[in-house]
Amino acid sequence: MTTTSSGAVTATELDALRRAFALAARGPASGPNPRVGCVLLAPDGTTVGEGWHEGAGSAHAEVAALDDARARGRSTVGTTAVVTLEPCDHTGRTGPCSRALVEAGVARVVVAVRDPNPVAAGGARTLADAGVDVLADVLPDEGRAVLGAWLPAVERGRPFVTLKLASTLDGRVAAADGTSRWITGAVARQHAHDLRAEVDAIVVGTGTALADDPSLTARAADGTLVGHQPLRVVVGLRDVPGDARLRGEGGELVHVRTHDPAEVLAVLAAREVRHALVEGGPTLAAAFLRARLVDEVHAYVAPVLLGGGLSAVADLGVATIADAVRLVPRRVQPLGDDVLVVATPEPPASAGDDTQSEEP
């Protein structure tokens, strides 16, 4: 991103950026567009307007902030726009925010994160070319956190993949007779529904679809459907029965007839899916892990022992401990009697890594 500012960020601008992060968080977690917030500061440092993006087709955060300032009867000439993401520079469902800021007479723009989307990027250059003072990469870590799965999805050109596992302490997802309801408790199950409400698609294999007949909906604590229902994606060659619960109320059913995880993600990317939740079963989980297409693991672990039955993940082709898929824990959260472990896969070791094995 172009940075033309000769001055450092001010304390007032940092406070405004933190406010913009809070505004951005009001936007929807799902959907093709990012969460963005914007605060407009007058030359004396007072706020003249603020806004956030409420979802695809609605005004972007910068335009919302400009509209807010005008509604307050405040001038936007000479203001500073403090924005969580680089203003867009393209015309889609809405016009380019970079030009809207220039036309409003904004004198300075402070940005947390550059836009990796080649379609929308370029706003900083347009602003700089128009004589606007642009300061970039301010509190970038906080900015990336607000953008969540959207940012890596756009950077990688495919949906961000969260693999969800719900298992016993010894890694089982079903008993020897096939029963699995309920391994985890009500608190953990509701947390999983809340996660569903934040993603764009839930992915299962045909084996899970046929064996469990799931509905794959996102529900509130009282059992009712929440407002956002993700796509329900079934992967595999076998047909989904006409009377399956997947064809009932909830999100659209998408059947991807393949066993290739990369092909699944390509289909979802074409549908502007930014965050996919892979829920099952063990074969599908293993396929995504073997393809190194899992970005994050949410493991719900119940204090239950079965000693047998179906494992949470099928064969990964790991013949020796050196080839194990290792994860980096990011968060551990108690959920009633259960525990949620959020972890990310370690990058594969380089060919020259000669680290010795460790004995207990």
Enumerate the active-site residues. 62
| CA-based nearest residue to 109, from 81, 89, 146, 128 | 81
**Per-residue DSSP letters for 289-338?**
HHTT---EEEEEEES---SSSEESS------SGGG---EEEEEEEEETTE
| CA-based nearest residue to 299, from 319, 322, 328, 261 | 328
| CA-based nearest residue to 304, from 161, 154, 169 | 169
Task: For 56, list phi and psi in degrees, rounded to 5.
Answer: -55, 130
| CA-based nearest residue to 277, from 206, 193, 180 | 193
The bridge status of strand 296-302 relative to strand 338-345 is antiparallel
Map residue 267 onto helix, strand or coil: helix
